[in-house]
Homo-oligomer: A and B are copies of this chain.
Amino acid sequence: MTADVSQHLAGLDALELSGRERRGLASRVWARAWPMISAIILVLAIWELVVLSGWRPEYVLPGPGTVLADLGHRLGDGEFYAAVAVTMRRAVIGFAIAVLTGLVVGAAVSRVRPLRAAFGSLITGLQTMPSIAWFPLAILLFKLSESAILFVVVLGAAPSIANGLIAGVDYTPPILLRAGHILGLRRLALYRHVILPASLPSFLSGLKQGWAFAWRSLMAGELLVIIAHQTSIGEQLDNARELSDAPGLLATMIVILVIGIVVDMVFGAADNALRRRWGLDQRVG
């Protein structure tokens, strides 16, 4: 009899599973790339038109040609890469500390009910605190060191990250909690094997948001302490403004935008991969 059941099951299984094709990598990349390229061309064209119309003198609103030349000039200069490297290093380190902090705070706040009620709203409140308000405290704590910059970055990003984790924990499907409980998972084990992984998508979107905050805080924070032999993007942005260097400012903005887009794409790819693996492609949200 079992053989018969097994046959039937195999038949049903074969029917239920149908390979749906995914497009090839090349065609997916192309599908993403062409509208972007055309968008860039479109933006440049409009920009050039505005400049050509003579609405504002070139020294106020330089054309794309000038700006791209300036950018090209920068790209040919070792200092530019050093600045990007310094800023990215700070961003990454600050973000990493923020992730750790966010994880610890988020985990504590999400699981301990009184902590939750006590600090839940405070965390979001902190998110609205402008970086500049932290400067005195940063210097008080860390003097004129890079740590002061990182402190500002962490305070900017950690609340979002903690909030992402808290939201994830909150919306962990109770059925999974019960399944974990039945399996004998308790406390830390339950946290590690069920709650944390279940919170991952929400945590990821917290990370993405945290990055934006971290980056903006960093741009402000890099003016806080200027460290020997280290030029940075935030400083370059400020210098360009200070020197009324419109092409330089726009070139730096393009650099920031490109970094922002690239990072967004990385997060987007991670998010997509996660959703695909988990079959979360369609969720009620």
A interface residues with partner B (beta carbon < 8 Å): 31-32, 34-36, 38-39, 56, 60-61, 114-119, 121-122, 124-133, 135-136, 140, 160, 167-168, 171, 173-174, 201-202, 208-209, 211-213, 215-216, 219-220, 234, 237-238, 241, 246, 249, 252-253, 256-261, 263-265, 268, 280, 282-285
Distance in angstroms from A72 CB to nearest chain B CB is: 20
Determine the distance from Cα of A132 to Cα of B124 in the docked complex, in whole angstroms: 23
B residues near A173, Cβ cutoff 8 Å: 282, 284
Would you call B132 and A220 a contact (CB within 8 A)? yes
B residues near A209, Cβ cutoff 8 Å: 160, 209
Would you call A257 and B129 a contact (CB within 8 A)? yes
Identify 15 residue pairs between A and B in the complex whose beta-carbon atoms are under 8 Å apart, listed by A's number.
A36-B121, A38-B114, A39-B118, A56-B140, A122-B257, A124-B208, A125-B258, A127-B260, A128-B216, A129-B256, A130-B234, A133-B219, A220-B220, A280-B284, A283-B284
Would you call B215 and A128 a contact (CB within 8 A)? yes
Contacts known (A118-B36, A140-B61, A171-B285); A256 close to B211, Cβ less than 8 A: no
Determine the distance from Cα of A122 to Cα of B122 in the docked complex, in whole angstroms: 31
Would you call B237 and A133 a contact (CB within 8 A)? yes
Contacts known (A125-B260, A130-B216, A264-B124); A283 close to B285, Cβ less than 8 A: yes
